Amino acid sequence: MTPATASFSPEQVWQELGTIPDPEIPVLSLVELGVIGAVEIEGRTVRVALRPTFAGCPALHAMRVAIDDRLRRLGAASVVIDLVLHPPWSTDDLTPEARVKLVAFGLAPPPSPIVRIDEILATPRTCPNCGSNETEVRNEFGPTPCRTIHFCRSCRQPFEGMKPI
C-alpha cells in the first residue's frame, strides 16, 4: 500500500502512539502516561489531543515531533496536534501498567487516585529500591516540575517520586 492509498484505523493510531516514549520518563509511552486525550481520523488527517502534564512542560516540543513523525510513517498525510489544557492532566490518568513501570524505573509512583490530599501528606512513599516505607520527602522540587526527591531511611538511598497532580 502506498502512502497515497494508506488507510488506518483508530486502533492502529492508538497502538502507534503507545510506542512513543515519554521524553522525560522513557519507560512510559505517551499513552501509558495518559497525555493522549483523544484521536480523530478524517480521511488521511489525524487529529490528536495532547494533554501535557504541565502547560509549560519542556518536553512538549519533543512529544509533538514524535507524534507527527510516527503518524506520518503510519500513512497520515496531515497530523494536527491540539494542546488541551482542560480538563487538565492528572496523575490519575496514569495507567496501572505505568505505575508498575515507574517503580521498575526507580521512580515512586504518585499515590492512588482515590487517596485524599491529607492522606497523601501523611503517607510515606514506598522506596522503589528496597520496598521500605521508611521514607521522607527531602525536596519538593525535583529535576522536573512533576517530581520530588525522597530519602529512604532503610537502604539510605535517595529516589525520585512523581508528584500527585
What is the domain range of residue 35?
10-83
Average pLDDT, the chain: 88
At residue 122, the pLDDT reads 57
CA 92 from centre of chain: 11
Please report whether residue 121 resides in a domain.
Answer: yes
Is 59 in the same domain as 109? no
Residue % of the chain over a pLDDT of 70: 88
Is 50 in the same domain as 111? no
Is 70 in the same domain as 121? no
At residue 6, the pLDDT reads 55
pLDDT at 36 over 70: yes
Is 68 in the same domain as 126? no
Vertex 114: Cα angle to 109 and 115 (nearest 5): 70
Is 115 in the same domain as 158? yes
User: What pLDDT band is residue 3 in, cutting at 50, 70 and 90?
Assistant: very low
Is 76 in the same domain as 121? no
User: What pLDDT band is residue 4 in, cutting at 50, 70 and 90?
Assistant: very low
pLDDT at 41 over 90: yes
pLDDT at 142 over 90: no
At residue 147, the pLDDT reads 84
Is 42 in the same domain as 72? yes
With contact defined as beta carbons under 8 Å apart, do 89 and 53 qualify?
yes
**Number of domains composing the chain:** 2
pLDDT at 17 over 80: yes
pLDDT at 32 over 60: yes
**SS3 sequence, the chain?**
CCCCCCCCCHHHHHHHHCCCECCCCCCCEHHHHCCEEEEEEECCEEEEEECCCCCCCCCHHHHHHHHHHHHHHHCCCEEEEEECCCCCCCHHHCCHHHHHHHHHHCEECCCCCCCCHHHHHHCCCCCCCCCCCCEEEEECCCCCCCEEEEEECCCCCEEEEECCC
Rounded to whole angstroms, how far apart are CA atoms 41 and 78?
A: 10
Residue % of the chain over a pLDDT of 90: 61
At residue 148, the pLDDT reads 86
Q: Per-residue pLDDT tens for 70-97?
A: 999 999 999 999 999 998 998 899 999 9
Please report whether residue 2 resides in a domain.
Answer: no
Residues 6+ apart with CB under 8 A from 107: 25, 128, 147, 159, 160, 161, 162
